[in-house]
Structure 1
Amino acid sequence: MISMKDIYQQGQIYSKNESETIYLTPDELDVFDANKWVYHQMPSLTKWKHDLEYQLTLHLSQHSNHLAFTFPENESLNHDWIDTIKGHGFEIGLMELYAIKANHLKLKHNSNVHIEYVTSNNLDDYIDVFRQFSLPFGETFTENNVTRIYTDFDKDAKSRIVAYRDGTPVGILDMISSHQFIEIDGFGVLEPYQRQGIGSAMQSFVAQVDRNKTIILIADGQDSARNMYIKQGYRFVSRCYQIVNEEMV
């Protein structure tokens, strides 16, 4: 059975018990997903407020300027939770898990699109596209991540691909392969080139990697991209709420 547990999780585990896992990664202090709490059981509001203070202490100690929590799969947040979360300055996001058998993904291929694995020879092309997606989150954040990609490229758990239209890099996608799954992550096409079959071409490339595996991905539950995945044949699996306070101090 597919679940959120099958999604790749970066970061270092600081502590883990039956209630939650704490990720604390000083080398990636500005990466929300590598510095957060993942609840395995739904906490009470009282416990969450206590955990909030503890996470604040941990993050301040390593100079992380955010707070982040992920709630258990398929658990809802009632009005009391929502009011309290927003009252503490958090934004609420809904992550949805989708899946499709690789051999069931049948998308039209745009012959003007060329897909390549990212190697040291074309890594700069990947970075050029990555920067354009990342810069809205800040120049410091972007350059930290660019440095991380260059530094970790040869030992990264991800395989990366870049899409070209008429020789211009216009789209990127990251893949994480496991025994059963190929996870799509970091997937995007530059806005001027959207709705031209480039995203479909990259997904078709992924589907050819291993036709016997299942492709999985996380979509923003409030984003229109999820509708595209449904039309392409992906099935909804589950959802969970994630909350982030980007400026805790």
Structure 2
Amino acid sequence: MANIFQEGKIYSDDQVKTIYLTPEEPLVYDANKWMYKEMPAIKDWKQHMEMQQSLHRQQYSDHLAFTFPENTPLSQLWLDEIKSYGFELGCMELYAIEAKNIRRTQNHNIDVKFVTNQTLEDYIKIYRQFSEPFGLKYTEESIRVIRNQFRSENKSRIIAYDNHIPVGILDLIITEKTVEIDGFGVLEDYQRRGIGKTMQSFVADVSEDKVIILIADGEDSAKHMYIKQGYIFISYCYQILKEQA
């Protein structure tokens, strides 16, 4: 999990936790959260909720979000407390594969390429459809950030076309040792046509000899595609979110 790209700005960092606060993106949950390095006591977590809520209100964030340490199970007592406070519980799973081991798929009707200034609006058109279920304010805020940071960001954005129609997007974070897949999605009407696998093959081709990593939701059916392509489960962590604090 330490190799996974983390959005947002670090507000404070100590032996117990890292606090992310990003005033320019107050509605982006993942950029405004607390990440625990070691499991807190429940009484301390309750104090942390009050502290986080105070910090978030100052920048007009209206959510609470915490990530617990890697490979740490939650006791029934913790699960009961999380539920009683109205948090949603998620399990994020880390998968990895060497680029050379990706099972290549090629659909000649699908054109996969890096996003450029000329194709950015095509990317945003698809991104908007995936983003709008999280709220219009969040969607407009995140699209504004994509446009403003496109030339300077440390992500490579990728788009897939089916006979010249934009149908899928994903983001890559490329480091010296790993290539991380983020924000991966294919429009519903174009799923189950091998487009996702063709996009994965493109990633493998540009990854050279690096390890490809990604985070999948524990309940996400897409992870079965990753497993079929040879991805190996590495680890997990729990995270909790309360959208209206």
Question: Shorter chain as normaliser: what TM range?
Answer: over 0.9
Distance 1:209 1:226 in 2: 21
Aligned length: 245
Give the aligned partner of residue 103 of structure 1.
100
Q: C-alpha displacement at 1:210, in angstroms?
A: 2.6
What is the root-mean-square deviation of aligned Cα atoms in Å? Answer: 0.7
SS in 2 for 1:120: coil
Give the aligned partner of residue 16 of structure 1.
13
1:15-54 equivalent positions in 2, closer than 5 A? 15-54=12-51
Instruction: Name stretches of at least 5 consecutive residues in structure 2 with no aligned partner.
Output: none
Tell me which amino acid in the other structure corresponds to 2:198.
A
Q: C-alpha displacement at 1:231, in angstroms?
A: 1.1
2:242 to 234, 242, 245: 245
1:125 to 111, 122, 126: 122
Distance 1:172 1:20 in 2: 32
Q: Deviations over 1:138-183 (max 9, x none)?
A: 1111111111100110111100010000110000010000010000
1:1-249 equivalent positions in 2, closer than 5 A? 4-248=1-245
SS in 2 for 1:26: coil
TM-score w.r.t. length of structure 2:
0.99
TM-score w.r.t. length of structure 1:
0.97
Q: C-alpha displacement at 1:127, in angstroms?
A: 0.5
Distance 1:83 1:118 in 2: 45
Deviating 4+ runs (over 6 angstroms): none
Tell me which amino acid in the other structure corresponds to 1:179.
E
Distance 2:168 2:45 in 1: 39
